[in-house]
Amino acid sequence: MLEYCKMIMHKISFNAYLFRKEYWKSLARLSQQEKNNFRMWVYRTFNPALVSLLYV
């Protein structure tokens, strides 16, 4: 499931609204360990300006 969520995030990273929506949906689907890995991956992979919109 983690790899699927990563794939989706790459595909929709062009749109900040979709990026935020999919981020929260992904967190709802993942186990606690996967959530931690996913969060770290998002922070390392994407532009800080895009990541900052996740908690607005």
Query: What pLDDT, on the 0 to 100 scale, is given for residue 34?
Result: 97
Specify the pLDDT at position 1: 94
Q: What are phi and psi of 30, to 5 degrees?
A: -90, 155
Confidence of residue 56 (pLDDT cuts 50, 70, 90): confident
Contact 26, 42 (CB under 8 A): no
Q: How far apart are CA 15 and CA 28, in angstroms?
A: 20
What is the C-alpha separation between 44 and 28, in angstroms, rounded?
A: 20
Is the model's pTM score more than 0.85?
Answer: yes
Mean confidence (pLDDT) of the chain:
95
Q: What is the pLDDT of residues 16-27, one digit of tens each?
A: 999 999 999 999
Domain hosting 37: range is: 2-55
25-36 pLDDT, tens digit per residue, is 999 999 999 999
* Domain total in the chain: 1
